[in-house]
Amino acid sequence: MTIKPLIILPDPVLRQVSKPIERVDTDLQRLSDDMLETMYDAPGIGLAAIQIGVPRRMLVIDLSKEGEEKQPLVFINPEIVSSSDDRSVYEEGCLSIPDYYAEVERPAKVTVKYLDREGKEESVEADGLLATCLQHEIDHLNGVLFIDHISRLKREMVIKKFTKAAKSKVL
């Protein structure tokens, strides 16, 4: 397993729409292992393939707490098939937008169909943190960032801050 470098805002790669995965094979399973290793190293609870520069529709999640046994989940070609009218608000962060957090309102429950690591069709009904995390990561696959769900003024300030930081690293 290899820890991959994370793509950081304002990199335009984060705005790409990821392509569906045609087949599940050992290369894809290796990619999921690399993604999990990268996510654990960061540390984070979710990671979409595009965040390591791979525009494929795959994400990984692990909501286990520190000290608990790891519970990695791999979602290939995930698709939200239903969402509740009830809403919930969570403070979200993102490995591609380090050290920035904001409250985001999303549907409280979602049903997601996907392929697992072996290519088997699965479906999960999620609520709470898992529902939020799935929506956040699926947004990534569609080129959407969590800051797109906050006010325009706050979003522009965040983008400006990260653009300035990126320019200073280049110099």
Give dist(CA 64, CA 2) in Å, integer.
21
Residue of 81, 85, 64, 82 lying closest to 73 (CA atoms) = 64
- Gyration radius of the chain over CA positions: 16
Catalytic residue among 37, 79, 121, 137: 137
Contact status, residue 49 vs residue 33, Cβ threshold 8 Å: no
Q: Where are the alpha helices (DSSP H) in 42-151?
A: 128-141
Q: Measured on CA atoms in the order 98, 103, 104, 108, is the torsion positive or negative? A: positive
- Give phi and psi for 68, each to the nearest 5: -85, 160
CA torsion 101-105-106-109 (nearest 10°) is 100
Token code pair at residue 84: 């509740």
Give dist(CA 145, CA 77) in Å, integer.
18
103 is catalytic: no
Active site positions, annotated: 137
